Structure 1
Amino acid sequence: MKLLDHTRESLLDYTVRQCAHVVPDGQEAAFRTIADAHLDEALERLHRCINGCAPWRPDQFNVLQSSQHCIYLYLLSNTIWKRSGETAAPTRLFLMNKAFNGIDLFYEIAMPEVFYIGHSVGIVLAKATYGNYLVLYQNSTVGRHKDQIPVIGDRVILYPNTAVIGRSVVESDCVVSQGTSVINRRTPAGQMVFRAADGGLAFSPRPDDLLQEYFRL
C-alpha cells in the first residue's frame, strides 16, 4: 500500500508526534517501540479496509483523510492490544482518536475487517457484535445496557443521529435512517428502518444498489 506523502518511518514519526501532543507524559520512546513493532500488521489491516471501500482510492493511505486516519488509529491500538496485551499505548491511541476525530472507539472493540466512516464526529460504539461492511455516520451510537448487547449484521448502514441500543438485533442488509433509534428491537433483514409517526419503527425494502456507493463487493 502506498503511504501518501509518507514513508513507513515518517508515518511512525508522525504518529509518535501526534501522541506526544495529545498525551504529553514523556513516554514517547516506549510508545514508539511498541507502535513500531505492530505498525506493519495494522497497515495490512488498513489496506484491506481501504481496498474494500469504494469512495477511497485502492492501495493508498492518506493520513490527512480524516476517516482513514481515524480507522488507522483504531487498528493500530487494537493490533497492539490483541498481540501484546499492553494497554498504555492503545489507551494513548484511543485518546488521540477522541481528540482528533471526535469518536469513542475503544481498542478492545472488535470491528469488522471492512467498515466505512462517513464522518467520525460524535460516533460512540460499545462492545457489541459488528458485521462486515458496516457504514457509520456522525452521531451514530451503538450502546449496550448492562448485559444487553446489540448485534449488527453484515452490510448495515447507520445514517447520522441513529442509535442501536440494548438487546437490539439489526439484521443484515438493513439501513437505519437518519434520526432513528432502535431500542430493544429486531429489524428484518434487507429493510430501510424509519421512525414511525407513533414513535415506533416502520420498514420498507432497501434499494438493491445502495451498497455500491460504499463498498467494492
Structure 2
Amino acid sequence: MQVSLSRTELAQYVRKQFENLFPDGTDLSDLPKFIDLALGRVEHCFSRVRLKGYFANGQPRFSHRHSDQYAIFLYYLANRAFHEKPGHPIADKAYALNKALHALDAYYEVQLPDVFAVQHPVGTVLGRASYSDYFICYHNCTVGANLDNDYPSFGRGVVMYGGSRVIGKTSVGDNSFVSTGAIIIDGGKLEGSSVMHGIYPNAGRSRTDRNVISDIFGV
C-alpha cells in the first residue's frame, strides 16, 4: 500500500493530535500496535475501492492529508483499540478526534464493514446497525434506532446520499440507493436494486438498473 507517512511517522502524528486535544497524560504506548492493526484494515478496504485518491498504479493508497481517508483510518483505529483492549483510552481519543476533525460520529463499538467509504461525511452519524461491505455515505446522514431501540440492517452495496436518514426496523436490500433527503423510518424489508425516496410516512421505492459496486466503488 502506498502511504503518505511511515507507520512510525503516523504514530507520532496521531500522538501529537491526541496530546494537543486531550492533554491528560494518558499512556499511549499501545498506539503503534493499534495503528498497525488499523492500517491492515485500511489496506484491505482501500484495495477494494476505486474512488478518486484511494487507488493508484495498481495499489491502494492512503494519505493522512485526504480527510475522508483519515476519517476511515480513525474509525478503524478506535475500533481496533476497543476490540484489543476494551476500555482503552486510545479508543475514546480516536473516536473523539474523528468527531472533532470531520464531524463524523462513528462509535468504536459500531461494527462498520471491512469495505466501506465516506464522502465529505460532515454531520453524519452511523449508529449500531448491521452493515455489509460496499457501504458508502455522504454528508449529514443518520443511521439510528426507533423508540424501541430497533436498528436498521443494510445489504451488500448500499449508498446513502446527503441528508438521508434510515431509522428503526428497516432492512435495506443489496444494491440500493437512499436518495438525498429521504427519511425511512421502520420501513420493513426493502427489496434490493432499489432507490429509496421520500419522507416518512410517505416514503417509497423505485427499481434501479444501476450497480453500486461497479458504478460507485468502481470495482
* TM-score, length basis structure 1: 0.92
2:45 corresponds, among 36, 49, 53, to 49
**Whole-angstrom CA distance in 1 between matches of 2:153 and 2:159:** 13
Question: For the Cα contact (< 8 Å) 2:157–2:212, is it kept in 1?
Answer: no
Structure 1 equivalent of residue 180 of structure 2:
178
**Whole-angstrom CA distance in 2 between matches of 1:206 and 1:135:** 17
Aligned length: 212
**Whole-angstrom CA distance in 2 between matches of 1:157 and 1:166:** 17
Structure 1 equivalent of residue 133 of structure 2:
132
**Whole-angstrom CA distance in 2 between matches of 1:208 and 1:180:** 18
Letter in 2 for 1:3: V
Question: For the Cα contact (< 8 Å) 1:116–1:214, is it kept in 2?
Answer: no
Question: For the Cα contact (< 8 Å) 2:41–2:114, is it kept in 1?
Answer: yes
> CA 1:78–1:202 in structure 2 vs 1: closer, same or farther (change >3 Å)?
same
| 1:59 to partner: Cα distance | 2.3
- Between structures 1 and 2, the one with greater helix share: 1
SS in 2 for 1:36: helix
Letter in 2 for 1:36: P
Structure 2 equivalent of residue 36 of structure 1:
32
> CA 1:207–1:119 in structure 2 vs 1: closer, same or farther (change >3 Å)?
farther
| 1:69 to partner: Cα distance | 0.2
The equivalences for 1:81-92 within 5 A come to 81-92=82-93
> CA 1:209–1:168 in structure 2 vs 1: closer, same or farther (change >3 Å)?
closer
Letter in 2 for 1:11: L
**Whole-angstrom CA distance in 1 between matches of 2:110 and 2:31:** 19
1:191 corresponds, among 194, 198, 204, to 194
| 1:212 to partner: Cα distance | 2.2
**Whole-angstrom CA distance in 2 between matches of 1:211 and 1:205:** 16
CA RMSD, 1 decimal: 1.6
**Whole-angstrom CA distance in 2 between matches of 1:178 and 1:100:** 24
SS in 1 for 2:136: strand
SS in 2 for 1:59: strand
* TM-score, length basis structure 2: 0.91
The equivalences for 1:101-112 within 5 A come to 101-112=102-113
Given the alignment of the two structures, is residue 7 of structure 1 paired with residue 6 of structure 2, yes or no? yes
SS in 2 for 1:95: helix
Structure 1 residues 72-125: Cα deviation after superposition (integer angstroms, max 9, x where no partner): 001011011111223311001111000001011101110000001011101101
> CA 1:209–1:152 in structure 2 vs 1: closer, same or farther (change >3 Å)?
closer
| 1:210 to partner: Cα distance | 4.6
Letter in 2 for 1:52: R
Question: For the Cα contact (< 8 Å) 1:22–1:95, is it kept in 2?
Answer: no
**Whole-angstrom CA distance in 1 between matches of 2:111 and 2:204:** 30
**Unaligned ranges ≥5, structure 2:** none
**Whole-angstrom CA distance in 1 between matches of 2:24 and 2:85:** 21
State the identity %: 27
**Whole-angstrom CA distance in 2 between matches of 1:213 and 1:116:** 14
Given the alignment of the two structures, is residue 79 of structure 1 paired with residue 75 of structure 2, yes or no? no
Question: For the Cα contact (< 8 Å) 1:142–1:164, is it kept in 2?
Answer: yes
| 1:209 to partner: Cα distance | 4.1
SS in 1 for 2:30: helix
**Unaligned ranges ≥5, structure 1:** none
